Amino acid sequence: MFDVIHAEYKGGYKIEVVFENGRRGIVDFSDYTARGGVFARFADMDYFKKFAINRELGVLTWDNAVDIAPETLYAQATGEPLPAWMHDNDEGLERRVAETAAIYVHSTKPL
């Protein structure tokens, strides 16, 4: 998948993203607040506007606490489908998500 190399706020909940392969598009994050959890923070427009690009991971991030996977951004910005491994009908998806979450939680615990 392609990393995000540039992002620009376009008003409301819209951010234009540019990927390392040159593709670009506007992602509308307006439905993210309804998802709750960490995305509830997007209800604060000042918070939402303070995004950055984590160059190491190639993702949009907010306070290095909230980020959106580049696969998801790419699909939303370009209209291309998500990679096959991200579909719900994949038997191993639930297990891989749980393993990834466990790794993430473990890696962010204070020492």
Q: C-alpha dihedral over 57, 62, 68, 70, to 10 degrees?
A: -40
* Cα 97 from chain centroid (whole Å): 15
Please say whether the beta carbons of 58 and 3 come within 8 A: yes
Question: What does pLDDT average to in each consecutive run of 10 residues of the chain (111 residues)?
Answer: 94 96 95 90 95 93 88 90 64 49 42 41
Q: C-alpha dihedral over 69, 74, 77, 82, to 10 degrees?
A: -90
**Amino acid 86: pLDDT:** 62
**Amino acid 80: pLDDT:** 86
Looking at domain 4-83, its CATH class is alpha beta
Query: What gap in Å lies between CA 111 and CA 30, rounded to an integer?
Result: 36
**Amino acid 43: pLDDT:** 94
